[in-house]
A and B are shown apart, each in its own frame.
Chain A
Amino acid sequence: MIQFPQATNGASPGHRMPLARQLTTAVLLFLLQGATVSAQSPTPGGAPPPPGMSLAASAAMRFPQPIQVGDLLQRIVIEPVESQSYLGKLEQIVRQSDGSLAALITLDGFLGFGARLVAVPVDALVLLGNVVEVVAFTPAQLRQLPSVVPGTTTPVSLNEIIKVGLAKPSH
């Protein structure tokens, strides 16, 4: 039980406590509500392709730049939002059966459990400095992607140069 100090000027402590407790609660509530997210600015970077546009066309609009495959591996993958939420890590670039390029990304699970490897078309990604952003899929859509079975994909060699689009920071 908390023992409250005796007020030395004669006033009773019991009279003060409710106000002090109210103020304490108010301060705590005010500070705790701050831990939540998020506020997007009106001109965020990394907007998704407009409805109806193909991934390839939307990637082509983003001034794709040449980059060596080796420079992409192990890059952090984030969401195109102000909070730059972590999505996962880029493990490999592979060529799919239709000839298009995809990135194998280890999608972060919840608290480290349930991490899965998924294939995301390179046209759905952008370069943002030294990280990669997924612009054409929401995190929910990414989680719907089937897991990649290791060994069923053809990796692209490390020194091959591929083109990836750009975006400005998302805030």
Chain B
Amino acid sequence: MSFRPVKRPNSAILDGHRPLLQSLERRGLIRGGLSLGALSLLTGCDMTRPQSVEEALLAISRMNDSVQAWLFDPNKLAPTYPASMVLNPPKFNAYYDVMDVKSVDGSNWRLELAGLIAEKRPWTLPQINALPQQSEIIKHICVEGWDYIGQWSGVLLRTFLERVGADLNAKYVVFKTADDYPSSIDMATALHPQTLLATQYANATLADPFGYPLRLRMSTKLGYKNPKWITAIEVTNTYQDGYWEKLGFPWFAGL
């Protein structure tokens, strides 16, 4: 399904971004027409915003990341709720509408590992489901301002990282996904007692639109930091921008 702009953009502006467009089209992420506004969202460039102002705001955003890391209490648990308050099905969101969700074949899926991890062999879904399971009913808060209460079950990310011999003193855990939505988080949050590699929602296998077979579920970060359809996990000391950070959103995004 495509969104056709009323006014065609000046094609000369698109010329400079043709490689990016072709790459995105090849991966089937865009069908049909692309508006200038969508382009600016994808590349983060905006003709009306002076670069110096942008750089100043981003510098302050990075300073705020440090403040947030300082404020983060690794032992503080987010409130939990009764099962009667769980929204089912949960609210769908992505950087594209639901028609463009690409289902993952769970039987052929492997979780790839990379970086500062001792045991890097890929994991199958049954192997992940055999790990100690934990369930939590917590609030998902989106940067847009809405929230809902959901129930997620899976293995603690901490347990998984310990199991694969990850360097828990490294700075970042980075996730890659089937929908090209990278996300990186700080190690302190990765080790938080409510950070799960979730395979289930409301006691049933995650449905396709909600990240099947594996998604990250944190209680202490905004929704956009929780990637769905995870395909790889990397432990590293090198910072990597996530999907929305490339477009100007804050990185730490702590609650």
Touch between A and B in complex, CB under 8 Å? Answer: yes
Chain A residues closer than 8 Å to B89, beta-carbon distance: 65-67, 127, 166
The B195-218 residues at the A interface (CB cut-off 8 A) are 207-209
- Contact-residue size bin, chain A (C-beta under 8 Å from the other chain): 20 to 34
A63–B209 CB distance below 8 A: yes
B122 contacts chain A at the CB level, 8 A cutoff: no
- Encode A156-171 as 1/0 by CB contact (under 8 A) with B: 0000000001111101
- Encode A123-146 as 1/0 by CB contact (under 8 A) with B: 000011110000000000000000
A137 to chain B, nearest CB (A): 17
B209–A65 CB distance below 8 A: yes
A123 to chain B, nearest CB (A): 14
A136 to chain B, nearest CB (A): 12
A43 contacts chain B at the CB level, 8 A cutoff: yes
A47–B97 CB distance below 8 A: yes
A34 contacts chain B at the CB level, 8 A cutoff: no
A44 contacts chain B at the CB level, 8 A cutoff: yes
Q: Among B3, B97, B148, B207, which residue has the most Cβ atoms of chain A within 10 A? A: B97
Chain A residues closer than 8 Å to B208, beta-carbon distance: 63
Question: Known contacts being A65-B89, A129-B148, is A166 close to B35, with CB within 8 Å?
Answer: no
- Contact-residue size bin, chain B (C-beta under 8 Å from the other chain): 20 to 34
B92–A42 CB distance below 8 A: no
Chain A residues closer than 8 Å to B81, beta-carbon distance: none
A129–B3 CB distance below 8 A: no
- Encode A57-86 as 1/0 by CB contact (under 8 A) with B: 000011101110001000000000000000
Chain B residues closer than 8 Å to A41, beta-carbon distance: 37, 41
- The answer, among B1, B5, B144, B207, for a CB contact under 8 Å with A63, is B207
B141 to chain A, nearest CB (A): 12
B38 contacts chain A at the CB level, 8 A cutoff: yes
B101 contacts chain A at the CB level, 8 A cutoff: yes
A14 contacts chain B at the CB level, 8 A cutoff: no
A42–B37 CB distance below 8 A: yes
A11 to chain B, nearest CB (A): 40
A50 contacts chain B at the CB level, 8 A cutoff: yes
Q: Please, how many angstroms separate the alpha-carbon atoms of A127 and B37 in the complex?
A: 26
Question: Known contacts being A63-B98, A67-B88, A130-B87, is A168 close to B1, with CB within 8 Å?
Answer: no
B170 to chain A, nearest CB (A): 33
B38–A62 CB distance below 8 A: no
Chain A residues closer than 8 Å to B60, beta-carbon distance: none
B35–A168 CB distance below 8 A: no
Q: Please, how many angstroms separate the alpha-carbon atoms of A43 and B100 in the complex?
A: 12
B2 to chain A, nearest CB (A): 8
A165 to chain B, nearest CB (A): 7
A42–B5 CB distance below 8 A: yes
A155 contacts chain B at the CB level, 8 A cutoff: no
Q: Please, how many angstroms separate the alpha-carbon atoms of A130 and B149 in the complex?
A: 11
Question: Known contacts being A43-B3, A65-B209, is A168 close to B97, with CB within 8 Å?
Answer: yes
Q: Please, how many angstroms separate the alpha-carbon atoms of A65 and B99 in the complex?
A: 13
B138 to chain A, nearest CB (A): 16
A63–B101 CB distance below 8 A: yes
Question: Known contacts being A63-B101, A169-B144, is A43 close to B1, with CB within 8 Å?
Answer: no
Q: Write the residues of chain A forming the contact surface with B, with a CB cutoff of 8 angstroms.
A: 41-47, 50, 61-63, 65-67, 71, 127-130, 165-169, 171
Known A42-B36, A44-B3, A45-B98; further 10 A-B contacts with Cβ < 8 A: A42-B37, A45-B97, A47-B97, A50-B1, A50-B2, A65-B207, A127-B89, A130-B91, A130-B148, A167-B98
A-B CB contact pairs (8 Å), 17 listed? A41-B37, A43-B38, A43-B41, A43-B95, A46-B97, A47-B1, A50-B1, A63-B101, A63-B207, A67-B89, A128-B91, A129-B91, A129-B146, A167-B92, A167-B97, A167-B98, A171-B144
7 nearest CB pairs, A to B: A129-B91, A42-B38, A42-B37, A65-B89, A42-B35, A166-B92, A63-B209
